[in-house]
Amino acid sequence: MALRIKWNDAWEPIPLEFASDVIERIREDLQASHPLRDVCFFPAAKLWRRWRYLLEDDNDPNILWLLDMDEKKRIRGKTCYWFKKLESQDDLDRILDEDLQWWIQYMKDAGAWEE
């Protein structure tokens, strides 16, 4: 079963008219040895005010990739943008909830959120 993004205020969908530009930009910015270079993906969503994306795997609808271009990790001695393969709805829901909590705190700190 394909993973379902449960939209919240922290995540915004990427309009279809900008999808090819986003794909091109991500591909240009990925390091030469980054594992996502070998994956055919489509950008589904972007985290508000961050370079964090949910990417749909074109070859398997049961997989989403989380790519965070604000974070890095080491893979086989090389530094790459942080990414994670999401294969379960529970993993995706947890990430969406964590990002929503981050967004709420950001809005509270900015004075734009009243409880």
Residue 77: phi and psi, rounded to 5, are: 80, 0
37 is a domain residue: yes
Indicate whether 92 belongs to any domain: yes
- pLDDT at site 112: 74
Q: What domain range includes position 42? A: 11-109
pLDDT of residue 79: 92
Give me the pLDDT at residue 30, please.
96
What pLDDT, on the 0 to 100 scale, is given for residue 19? 97
Residue 2 placed within a domain? no
Q: Say if 48 falls within a structural domain.
A: yes
Which letter does DSSP use for residue 20 in this model? Answer: H
Instruction: Give the chain's domain count.
Output: 1
Name the stretches of the chain with pLDDT < 50: none
Specify if 43 maps to a domain.
yes
Map 54-86 to HEC letters. EEEECCCCCCEEEEEEEEEEEECCEEEEEEEEE
Specify if 105 maps to a domain: yes
